[in-house]
Chain A
Amino acid sequence: MPVIKDAVCSLCGSLCDDITVTVENNKITKIENACILGHSKFVGMLEHDRIETPMIRKNGELIPVSYEEAIEAAAKILVNSKRTLSYGWCSTSCEAVSGAIQLAEETGSVIDSTANVCHGPTALAAQEKGSPSATLGEIKNRADVIIFWGCNPVHAHPRHMVRYSSFSKGLFTEKGRKGRKMIVIDVRRTDTAKLSDKYVEIEQGSDLLLVTALRSIVNGHEDVIPETVAGVPKAEVIELAETLMNAKFVCIFFGMGVTQSRSKYKNGDAMSSLISDLNQHTKAVMIGMRGHYNVTGFGQVATWETGFPMAIDFARGYPYYNPGETGANDILVREEPDAAIIAAADPGAHFPQKAVRHLAKIPVIQIDPYPNPTTEIADVVIPAAVVGIEAEGTAYRMDAISLRMKKLIDSKFKTDEEIVKDLTAKVRELKRGA
């Protein structure tokens, strides 16, 4: 009975790499160390419906076909397209991402990741001010003040606080939670807030006002602060700033509450500046709480292969980047794409109505292990092995540390990496024929 140790959990951006998996007769029978979300991914995979076979839509119905037929149909869609959107690629391996980028380059497509609807603004913020960060172990070993801002790890990253942050113990943090101050800033009292030493409730969309006020205080301009900022009394803002300045090591973990609230990337932009200002007094860093397990990996691979982390338009044969113009939603809402390839993502469920309506009108190729609302509008459906369970490959944790995901059990399905390779080969063949 094989027991696989130190498996990497491919659920969230925490990428816990201490999972023990027992496999019997090519079935996962026991999971140790995973959180409830991770556990349900490892085990739930067996209970969950799978896309059982490649399919092509004919007369409105998805008809089972061979991989070969599906790949050929997909390739035909791509070579006939003037503007393909390739979207998703965050719940898969870096190797698959690399293949997808090459395919996008060869077909003059736009390629974008799910960051388009979550931490995309984090990249835009970094492009304004940089990204003052550290690996998670730095927080574990040093941080005495931790802020969770607009994020709720209790539900979204269940083991984060134990492995990396609030409750973790390290060389200079032997007391763990007792030796740390944990602050939560949010618009509602989340379950994470309930565990904190200090909860600061702010008005919806006012993150930038509070960050700016903190900066003003840290930089010695307390006088310019009005009586309340973001719904928080001035005295409380000053107290918060002093807590940060008097800390030995501060980390701000921020989530979609920051990146997707009113002033979007300007919140992260200002937060980077706050971190820089704080370093005049203490040590401070910030880390984005990335959701999909390899959304960071997409950004890394895309950046080294194209120069940009997302929203890359290959129309002219070289990469062009301009979120707001070349993002998945940007072009869908404008009804630009005449074809789409969607992998390991579900815009059918997560995109605005207008974008989904356009997707429904154009040929859509879906690559995914599981059926989802996108399957309903797909014209070619290609089932894939589950990366991290049925396929190996690289993923990047939220702090940009890469880990190798293991293959735990065999699968009859092709991997994303193989599918993309086959598709690229077929596209080349069709182009040569033409």
Chain B
Amino acid sequence: MSEILIKNASVCDPAQRINCETMDICIKDGKIVESVSANAKVINAEGRLTMAGGFDGHTHSAGKINVGRFINPNDSRKNLVPGLSGQVARTEKTRAQVGYNTPNTYAIGYRYAKLGYTTICEAAIPLLAARHTHEEFKEIPILDKMGLSLFGSNWQVMEYIRDKEPEKLAAYVAWGLRASRGYGIKIVNPGGGEAWGWGKNVSGLYDPVPNFDVTPAEILMSLAEVNERLKLPHSVHVHCNNLGKPGNYATTIETMKLFEKVKPSRDRQALHVTHVQFNAYAGTSWRDFETGAPMVADYINGANHLTFDLGQIIFGPAVTMTADGPVEYANARMMHEKWSNQDIELEDASGVVPLFYSPKSFVNAVQWAIGLELALLVKDPWKVMFTTDSPNGGSFVNYPEAFTYLMSAKRREEVISGFSKMALDRMVLPGIDRELDFYELAIMTRSIQSKMYSRPEKGNLKPGSDADIAIYDILPGKIDPSTEYEKMKKAFSGAAYTLKDGEIVVKDGEIEATPKGKIYWVNAKVPSAIDSAMQKDIDVKFRKYYTVSKANYMVEDVYLQKPVEITTEGVF
């Protein structure tokens, strides 16, 4: 029985509406409790900012990122955020580390922990390649992990939608989550992955998918129906059509509107729209490209059925990686960059392209502004999850830098002062003076994730929750984030303490211990008759079209490190 008492913590825990109040936190056997005995080990927080462990709800940290590493050996030596990047020799406690945008697995675990983050959600697991994702999960130390499984261009999904078989569709999705040990439904450019099988794309919500006679809108609505029927802990997680194209804000709002009629089966959003920065573009071409954030934010302010994340960009090198195959090909051609592609039979596409965001490029400058505009124009922080879509918009190690943008108008002005007149004309950011406080930042980086993913034991400091805790070297009330942003950035870059399940994993910004994290996956129960009928259909798929057998498709238990099975009962 291990007990810890954190004394004099300045606790910021929006889930309990606690806003930087000095209090003690008791920990027993990895959980937060009401009280501990006098034998508890004492950590004196000395009034420092204390939050639940951070939770990155959308990151590319296992699976496709390996392609990024593979094609960019030059990333290994990039040390743009000292302490959180570059080559680091092994120590008695830690494995060797390399990289910046595409660090090795060990570095991912250590560096998130140093930022005070303790849970991540991998944004895209191809069902057929899920084993690979879990192999990488096993080698990411410290963090708890979950991943979202791709269903948006899947043949069986599209056929069941076309043939109006909603129950079998639900059974298939439940099976797919089981096969891939996934946590939820990810939809990337619905239908676009299949079109990319022929080198094409879909142009919007009502453009039918070649050969399958369904539209992206139907895919979205049918999977949303399945999601609620199965009572999945997360909503559908959508990467909209037309990502990266000027004028796409209209598609994004249209997609959001579609979901107004979806009734969530649990106390959470009906829709999560991801990396909206890439989907909030106005204009008709790159010449008249401008921000579409005000329109998107306006809509979101009037809606209460959705959450979204930013996909904030960070200036400098990044590596884009997405199941949106056609977008990556277009990126590579436009920027004369390396292009990797991996289409997954019967299921989806994917691509990886490195790129560079420059403040001198007016397009990049406007993209940078759009992410922040979305965060600041949407009034309710409980709708906003902070992400850089790491490493698409930039590596997660830049989160502390991005926090300064959100919390300091002065810091934003400093960056904006380097932009061209043309860029300034295409954004609204200079007119926004809102500055987030620690409470709002905590919502966007840990509290909303707890609600979004129905993980009540995460992202808060309530008794009973996991003792995943970050203490930062910041004295709330005695620091002015608006002007002392350098100090703030430093504190967020290396937590004074990070605790994972009650164990000190980071102290004074350095790794103390490297326990193994848990893997969350969802087992949605489906009536056996429906399941059997569905199995017959996929048996045909395996016999005729897949190149692996069904028995070898399922991710075996041996790949799951400390698995936590979340069961749900579907409504049929």
Contact = CB atoms under 8 A, between A and B. Distances in A.
Nearest to B72: A127
A174 to B, nearest CB: 10
Interface string B329-351: 10011000111111111100000
Contacts of A137: 345-346, 545-547
A171 B545 contact: yes
A403 B49 CA distance: 46
Contacts of A282: 199
B105 A130 contact: no
Nearest to A140: B547
B551 interface: yes
B158 to A, nearest CB: 12
B353 interface: yes
Contacts of A221: none
A127 B73 contact: yes
B136 interface: yes
Contact of B342 (A134, A142, A404): A134
B157 to A, nearest CB: 15
Given A170-B545, A307-B102, A6 B341 contact: no
Contacts of B548: 17, 401, 403
Contact of B211 (A128, A172, A308, A316): A172
Interface stretch (A194-202, A254-262, A296-304, A342-350): A296-304
A135 B96 contact: no
B139 A304 contact: yes
Contact of A402 (B71, B73, B104, B132): B132
Interface in B294-350: 329, 332-333, 337-346
A177 interface: no
Contact of A131 (B70, B128, B337, B551): B70
B537 to A, nearest CB: 14
A304 B136 contact: yes
Contact of B329 (A8, A18, A138, A279): A279
Interface residues of A, number: 67
A6 B556 CA distance: 14
B73 A6 contact: no
Given A17-B552, A140-B545, A402-B131, A319 B69 contact: no
Nearest to B87: A318
B353 A130 contact: yes
A16 to B, nearest CB: 9
B96 A404 contact: no
Main secondary structure of the interface of A (DSSP, over half): mixed
Given A137-B346, A170-B545, A276-B332, A308 B76 contact: yes
A230 B323 CA distance: 38
B247 to A, nearest CB: 23
Interface string A400-433: 1111100000000000000000000000000000
Given A138-B197, A138-B345, A308-B73, A401 B88 contact: no
Interface string A102-133: 10011000000000000000010011111111
Contacts of B544: 169-171
B185 interface: no
A301 B558 CA distance: 17
A407 to B, nearest CB: 12
A262 to B, nearest CB: 24
A233 to B, nearest CB: 29
Nearest to A393: B558
Nearest to B107: A307
A98 B556 CA distance: 18
B90 A318 contact: yes
Given A17-B548, A105-B90, A318-B96, A283 B198 contact: yes
A305 B99 CA distance: 11
Q: Which of A6, A94, A314, A319 has the most CB of B within 10 A?
A: A319
A307 B552 contact: no
Contacts of A155: none
A307 B66 CA distance: 8
A98 B132 CA distance: 14
Contacts of B2: none
B545 A318 contact: no
Contact of B97 (A170, A285, A304, A318): A318
B71 A127 contact: yes
Interface string A312-336: 0010111111000000000000000
Interface string A76-101: 00000000000000000010001000
A144 B514 CA distance: 50
B129 A306 contact: no
Q: Which of A94, A276, A402 has the most CB of B within 10 A?
A: A402
B4 to A, nearest CB: 30
Nearest to A174: B544
Contact of B75 (A163, A304, A307, A394): A307
Contact of A319 (B70, B76, B353): B76
B490 interface: no
B70 A318 contact: no
A320 to B, nearest CB: 8
B345 A140 contact: yes
B106 interface: yes
B131 A404 contact: yes
Nearest to A125: B71
A309 B341 contact: no
Given A135-B345, A318-B88, A403 B67 contact: no
Contacts of A320: 87
9 closest Cβ pairs, A-B complex: A137-B345, A317-B89, A283-B199, A130-B338, A134-B343, A130-B340, A307-B98, A6-B551, A130-B339
Given A131-B340, A142-B198, A402-B132, 7 more contacts: A17-B548, A98-B139, A127-B338, A131-B341, A135-B344, A308-B76, A400-B342
21 contacts: A5-B551, A8-B552, A105-B96, A106-B90, A130-B339, A134-B343, A135-B129, A135-B344, A135-B547, A141-B345, A276-B329, A276-B333, A280-B333, A285-B343, A299-B70, A304-B105, A304-B136, A305-B104, A308-B76, A318-B88, A401-B129
